[in-house]
Structure 1
Amino acid sequence: MPALFTHEFATDPYPAYAWLREHAPVHRTVLPSGVEAWLVTRYADARETLADPRLSKNPAHHSETAHGRGKIGIPGERSANLMTHLLNIDPPDHTRLRRLVSKAFTPRRVAAFEPRVRELADRLVDGFAGRGSADLIHEFAFPLPIYAICDLLGVPAGDQDDFRDWAGMMIRHDRGPRGGVGRAVKRMRAYLAELIHRKRAEPGDDLISGLIRASDHGEHLTENEAAAMAFILLFAGFETTVNLIGNGTYALLRHPEQRRLLQDALAAGDTGRLESAVEELLRYDGPVELATWRFATEPLELGGQRVEAGDPVLVVLAAADRDPERFARPDTLDLTRSDSQHLGYGHGIHYCLGAPLARLEGRVALSALLGRLPDLRLAAEPPELRWRGGLIMRGLRALPVEFDPVL
């Protein structure tokens, strides 16, 4: 069996996932944190698992005594009282909370945000276009979604650099100073609580004000629920989009014929090709490697394996989305693929609420990069690139590129 969670695995996990799909599709392993968990790797099993009501999102169901002690969830969130969000609760609380949040985080609000995202993307490209080189993670993929989500939430422009610093600490939690993640989360939590207090007194046309106003049959979000939702939109929303932009651009640079196909489509105004390209990039090397934790509430069978009550279960989205039983030539990047019903944003009642925003940011980012820097190319060999450690997300630490300067 291939070794899991090594440096080589982080760089390219797909051969190991292919072995697991064939030989041990539901596999019990010890994670780097010391927690024992089941990994689900086949598409059909993954889709079933993501929608199984016997698998809870609430970490209270984790049997720590039986399965070791380790980190479960987002670093620092437990101590910061940020647990009441959609990733950690089940129906009926999840149903109520998602219904209320959906009233504020509407498709219309996301669609109306596109001009602002384009403005941000162009401003960021302006910052390095004349230089002929850039680190696309640090200078583009990271700041674009954090500034965008700050604008969407209603964080004043003067405070957004603080958010960028806190987000940077959280996204680099595997190599930051000891305790730095917890401090960043606490500062963000305190800021959000104060911002929500201000928005209650002076509401605006922003998402936090929308969360405060949202109601259904007399129900409203509590202040803690609103703060937790704002936090999870920042944390989960921005990091997944950083990885979508970074992984997607890297994949296109490694496949120049596919990049040219997309550039030709953009030049011809074919927006449909851009939309399908984002879906294929999500399938091919998506931003979320494993779905967030689930815990068996009773004994059950998954893929022929008996899972006991309290067992943690992790659906390996990266493995499921390259299952040859579901996708033809799954290891091939094909922007013309007509069937790309990937699981990159989940499935079932926990399907990612922020997926439309992430897709919008991905489309805008690729359009800005490929449209304005048509000769974009890697400035490092693939073995020189480093991938961030961690269990859930998959993304590059840096993506150095070169191009002809644009004045």
Structure 2
Amino acid sequence: MPDNLADPTFHANPHPSYASWRREGPVRQVRLASGAVAWLITRYDDARHALADPRFSKTGGDDRHPSSAIDRALSRHMLAVDPPDHTRLRRLVTAAFTARRIEALRPRISAITESLIRQFPDDPFDLIDAFAFPLPIQVICELLGIPADDRDAFRAWSNIIVGGVAYQEQFPSAAAAMVGYIQGLLAARRAEPGDDLLSGLIGARDSGDSLTEDELISMVFLLLIAGHETTVNLIGNGMYLLLAQPERWQRLCADPGLIPTAIEEFLRYESPVETATFRITTEAVDIGGRTIPAQAPVLIGLLSANRDGDRFPGPDAVELDRAPNPHLAFGHGIHYCLGAPLARLEAQIAFTALTASCPDLWLAVDESELAWRPGLLLRGLFTLPVTPG
């Protein structure tokens, strides 16, 4: 019988299950919260191979598009399609999402970071609500050129959209609201173009080609969701790992030169994305000692792969100076995260500022009281209560 990934105890701490599966059956069938059965890949080498193997397809070779307008608008981004569509979309988006545009954000990210820290209260507070969430959402809003005042609406819609089966009844209205909002943004930016990513996406051209309306909506949707959710979890998970063992936090505060390698270790140890988005096999595939049949849904366990002892010595230890650290937190292959440089930049600025300004932070609750968000896509805490020193 397939292992049940809907079990609340699994979500509370999936690492023991992943460790057991890597030993006893690294490629296995699992039952999802929806009741559906999928294949799960848990070892590093298998996961890295699957992420780059075109037989693990985003569409399963089926060129039909979703029938509803909402589904079409949310599923025409580069993370949801195979080549040649993926190649075309990524080239067009990359033309707007340039390294220059990202690096130009450095002073603004620093200013937002310092402003948020100055607003920290003197009493215990939630570091995610006060810092880990507002920083990346404000950055992505400014990058796209949209009002940061709407960030609470984004947060509500995003929590529902990525929350899986727990929010299935609320999903249609949240998705429709998100699509409607993005349509309004696009109309406004067409009327008044600016020097922002949204205008860049609207104007992106390559050999006479451009993004269709569905592709534009879908790409903005992806950038809004992925552009803040993963960084929220990177900052939140990293601070959890530091404050849960105060000597780690003290070491990083005393030696901020460790911040770049520490961030890579946070990405490895508590990966912000638990599993890569679904693949479907286009033919039977032999991997990890098993044969996955054709047209089977497949999950690639990034969180599990990043704790594989065959690839990482002492995988269950947090080593702030671990190097090399070839984790899969941002994926691998053609779908490698386009926003990885932005996430790293935000995290480096955030941890540098926190170590300098708040060296006396402590967890305000026992570690056992912290709750992880449900679902298989993202790995992050609901809250991270802290006490100022």
Scaled by the length of structure 1, the TM-score of the pair is: 0.89
After superposition, what is the alpha-carbon deviation per residue over 1:331-378, rounded to whole angstroms, capped at 9, x for unaligned?
000011111110001000000111111111222222222221111111
8 Å contact kept, 1:26–1:302: yes
8 Å contact kept, 2:190–2:199: yes
Q: Return the alpha-carbon distance in structure 2 between the equivalents of residues 302 and 349 of structure 1.
A: 20
Partner of 1:131: 122
Q: How does 1:320-399 map to 2 (within 5 A)?
A: 320-399=305-384
8 Å contact kept, 2:362–2:387: yes
Does residue 26 (structure 1) correspond to residue 14 (structure 2)? The answer is no
Q: 1:353 to 1:2 in 2, by over 3 A?
A: same
* Aligned partner letter, 2:135: L
Q: 1:313 to 1:120 in 2, by over 3 A?
A: same
After superposition, what is the alpha-carbon deviation per residue over 1:33-53, rounded to whole angstroms, capped at 9, x for unaligned?
112111111111010000001
Q: Return the alpha-carbon distance in structure 1 between the equivalents of residues 151 and 323 of structure 2.
A: 39
SS state at 1:401 partner: strand
Q: Which residue of the other structure, out of 111, 118, 127, is the alignment partner of 2:110?
A: 118
8 Å contact kept, 1:141–1:242: yes
Does residue 247 (structure 1) correspond to residue 237 (structure 2)? The answer is yes
* Aligned partner letter, 1:147: Q
* Aligned partner letter, 1:151: E
1:127 Cα deviation from its structure 2 partner: 2.1
Partner of 1:43: 44
Q: Return the alpha-carbon distance in structure 2 between the equivalents of residues 264 and 284 of structure 1.
A: 22
Partner of 2:284: 299
Q: Return the alpha-carbon distance in structure 2 between the equivalents of residues 309 and 141 of structure 1.
A: 41
Does residue 235 (structure 1) correspond to residue 236 (structure 2)? The answer is no
Partner of 1:96: 88
Partner of 2:9: 8
8 Å contact kept, 2:246–2:362: no
Q: Return the alpha-carbon distance in structure 2 between the equivalents of residues 161 and 399 of structure 1.
A: 18
SS state at 1:306 partner: strand
% same residue: 49
Q: Return the alpha-carbon distance in structure 2 between the equivalents of residues 79 and 143 of structure 1.
A: 28
Q: 1:4 to 1:164 in 2, by over 3 A?
A: closer
SS state at 2:298 partner: strand
Partner of 1:187: 177
SS state at 1:81 partner: helix
Q: Return the alpha-carbon distance in structure 2 between the equivalents of residues 77 and 241 of structure 1.
A: 29
* Aligned partner letter, 1:392: L
Partner of 1:226: 216
Q: 1:158 to 1:320 in 2, by over 3 A?
A: closer
1:77 Cα deviation from its structure 2 partner: 9.3
Q: 1:147 to 1:174 in 2, by over 3 A?
A: farther
Partner of 2:198: 208
Partner of 1:152: 143
SS state at 1:215 partner: coil
1:170 Cα deviation from its structure 2 partner: 4.1
Q: Return the alpha-carbon distance in structure 2 between the equivalents of residues 200 and 333 of structure 1.
A: 48
**Which consecutive unaligned segments of at least 5 residues does structure 1 have?**
63-72
1:198 Cα deviation from its structure 2 partner: 2.0
Q: Which residue of the other structure, out of 272, 280, 299, is the alignment partner of 2:265?
A: 280
* Aligned partner letter, 1:292: T
Q: Return the alpha-carbon distance in structure 2 between the equivalents of residues 369 and 155 of structure 1.
A: 27
RMSD (Å), alpha carbons: 2.3
Q: Return the alpha-carbon distance in structure 2 between the equivalents of residues 14 and 369 of structure 1.
A: 28
Q: 1:77 to 1:335 in 2, by over 3 A?
A: farther
Q: Return the alpha-carbon distance in structure 1 between the equivalents of residues 313 and 227 of structure 2.
A: 30
Q: Return the alpha-carbon distance in structure 2 between the equivalents of residues 98 and 148 of structure 1.
A: 21
Scaled by the length of structure 2, the TM-score of the pair is: 0.93
1:225 Cα deviation from its structure 2 partner: 0.9
SS state at 2:79 partner: coil
1:6 Cα deviation from its structure 2 partner: 2.4
Q: Return the alpha-carbon distance in structure 1 between the equivalents of residues 226 and 387 of structure 2.
A: 30
Does residue 319 (structure 1) correspond to residue 319 (structure 2)? The answer is no
